Chain A
Amino acid sequence: MKKSIIYIAAILFLSTSVFAGGPWPQPKGVGYFKLSEWWTSFDQHFTDEGLLDPNSTTGIYNTAFYGEYGISNRVTLIANANLFSRNVINNQVSGTNGSIIIPGDSYNGLGDIDLGIKYGLTAPGSKYPVAITATFGLPTGATNEGALGNLATGDGEFNQMIQLDAGTGFKLGGLNAYASAYGGFNHRTNGFSEEIRFGAELGIGLLDSKLWLATKLNVVESLQNGDTAETTTSTSIFANNTEYSSFALEANYYVTKRVGVSANVAGAFTGAIIAAAPSYSVGIFYDMGK
């Protein structure tokens, strides 16, 4: 069982990709690719009771690649990879004499990689598309790094998630818009509790659909069936049974026909054993579908 609060924070907000995904598979031979920088820094977290407690200021900074590519009109391959991840934890300094009580630390490395495959259950062009996605979380990141073993770029477990997406495109006051929702089950290994995940997304196109604004709600509920500090054989420094409800806002702007920039802010408004601070990301994307 090796998953830190900071790493959970990364998972939480990296999964917020509002401009791709959903129930719409990419057409055959068409892809969407995004390179982004994501970061958060937090000095408090939600306890197991959902209350706020302080912690050492901890930061995580990820350079991530997200890609979708249609190998048929119904089947899309998906990759979400943290190409470079940096974890930082602050020095604990005496306010009385200025000495360092506990030295800070940092670690840089490859993060975890998610690979997925999406299948359109409805015919391409359907008014109400439905798709199913299987995602495999590869534990390519490092765990237990740093002098105290409290830095990580991955969770150290191979998880498998199945997700069902449904949505629709529509006009809203003459503007293009879409809405989608999803539900999923995340089976996790290595002593981690399994999870129910669900959420919804709403987007609207402005400036002749050059600018897309979107909002997304993500909820994760733990089944509480994994290890705890009491049952694990190690004196684990990592948390399990994380839960949260998060809200994200994202803007995507097409600078050219296919190339654009994106910015995102997200944060958990309720949670358990998870960072309590907003995360931010900026990125550039290439959309072959335009």
Chain B
Amino acid sequence: MKQIIHFFILAVFSISLASCVGDDIVNDRVAEELKITNAIDTIGFESTYLFESRYLDNVGQRQEINVEWSSSNEDVISITNDGWAEGVGSGSAIITAEYQGIDDYLIDEIEVVVGANTTEVEVENITKEGTIMASSFYVLEGAFTVQEVDGDLLVEIAEDYKASTALPGLYVYLSNNPNSIGGAHEIAAVSTFNGAHTYTIPNVGIDDYKYLLYFCKPFNVKVGDGAF
């Protein structure tokens, strides 16, 4: 009888040892990205302008970095390490932002002309399009558009949208990584499973995120995504 009890205790103990929280590895590598976020067409002669940039690391998360700024012609436009540029001569120059990333050497550049006044690049009311596609065997599909309206992001899901009602805890996010909600912006729990509907996300720009990501929150499973 003692042997039986010992056997049972040993079995329970062994099982308990195996019941610790472990790690699941998520394949979340994406290409790094460096972008000048406040491009201008023209910089005023003897005017200054502060260029800004955004860096997304190799998991799509924004990181603050020290970008290396340079001008292709310092006699036309000079620029400091902080990104302060000044129009000092007539003509044009290429303004370059550079950064040695984790995986890649990143470069973004724009051409700027020196003129009478500083002029930002004219951005029309851009509407980006995308298609939601399932990455799982749950039904999830539909077209969508994204546009910036009065500083908010408007995500309009089209009439052809369908999502499975069987999966519990489905949430929708904005993300820069199609495989991870790390650094993502949670929009809402999904409450519409068929047809057109709209999400308005305050204080989010159209270039801040690249993917609409559907994620089963309780079981930490990606259900689908749509790039835009």
Q: Is the CB of A282 within 8 A of B137?
A: no
Which of chain A's residues have a CB closer than 8 A to the CB of B11?
37, 282
Q: B23 touching A284 by the CB < 8 A rule? A: no
CA distance A91 to B5 in the complex (A): 34
Nearest CB on A from B31, distance (A)? 12
B197 CB, nearest partner CB in chain A, Å = 13
A56 touches B219 (CB 8 A): yes
Q: Contacts A88-B20, A101-B182 hold; do A237 and B218 have CB atoms under 8 A apart?
A: yes
B113-166 interface (Cβ within 8 A of A) = 136-138, 164-166
A35 touches B8 (CB 8 A): yes
| A235 and B169 contacting across the interface, CB-CB below 8 Å | yes
Choose from B26, B58, B166 the contact partner of A229 (Cβ within 8 Å): B166
Contact A97 B221, beta carbon cutoff 8 Å? no
| Partner of B138 from A53, A57, A284 at Cβ < 8 Å | A53
Contact B182 A55 (CB under 8 A): no
Distance A149 CA – B26 CA, assembled complex (angstroms): 22
| Contact, CB under 8 Å: A94 / B19 | no
**Cross-chain contact A228 with B165 (CB below 8 angstroms):** yes
A34-54 toward B: CB 8 Å interface, digit per residue (1/0)?
010101010101011101111
Whether A273 contacts B220 in the complex (CB less than 8 A), given A88-B21, A284-B4, comes out as no
Closest to A230 in B: B165
The secondary-structure label for the interface of chain A is: strand
Closest approach, in angstroms, between the C-beta of A256 and any C-beta of chain B? 7
- What A residues does B165 contact at CB under 8 A? 228-231
Residues of B within 8 A of A221 (CB): none
Please report the C-alpha to C-alpha distance between residue A175 and residue B154 in the assembled complex, in whole angstroms: 73
Q: Is the CB of B8 within 8 A of A96?
A: no
- Flag if B219 contacts A283 (CB, 8 Å): no
Residues on the B chain within 8 Å of A54, using CB: 221
Known: A86-B19, A229-B170. Contact between A150 and B219, CB under 8 A? yes
Closest to B5 in A: A284
Q: Are A229 and B28 in contact (CB under 8 A)?
A: no
A1-31 to B contact mask, C-beta < 8 Å, 1/0: 0001100000000000000000000000000
- The residues of A that contact B3 with a CB separation of less than 8 Å are 255
Whole-angstrom CA separation of A49 from B15 in the bound complex: 32
- Chain B positions 181 through 202: 1 when the CB is less than 8 Å from some CB of chain A, otherwise 0: 1100000011101000000000
- CB of A90 closer than 8 Å to a CB of B: yes
Whether A39 and B29, one on each chain, are in contact in the complex, defined by CB atoms closer than 8 angstroms, is no
A residues less than 8 Å from B181 (CB atoms): 101-102
User: Do A51 and B5 have beta carbons less than 8 Å apart?
Assistant: no
A237 CA / B216 CA spacing, docked (Å): 8
Contact partner of B219 (CB less than 8 A), chosen from A5, A61, A101, A282, is: A5
A88-107 interface with B by 8 A CB criterion: 88-97, 99, 101-102, 104-106
Known: A37-B12, A150-B219. 15 other contacts (CB 8 A): A37-B11, A48-B167, A53-B137, A57-B24, A93-B23, A95-B29, A96-B59, A101-B28, A101-B182, A102-B220, A150-B217, A230-B165, A230-B193, A259-B1, A272-B166
Q: Give A contacts to B, CB under 8 Å.
A: 4-5, 35, 37, 39, 41, 43, 45, 47-49, 51-59, 61, 63, 86, 88-97, 99, 101-102, 104-106, 148-150, 228-231, 235-239, 241, 255-256, 259, 261, 272-273, 282-284
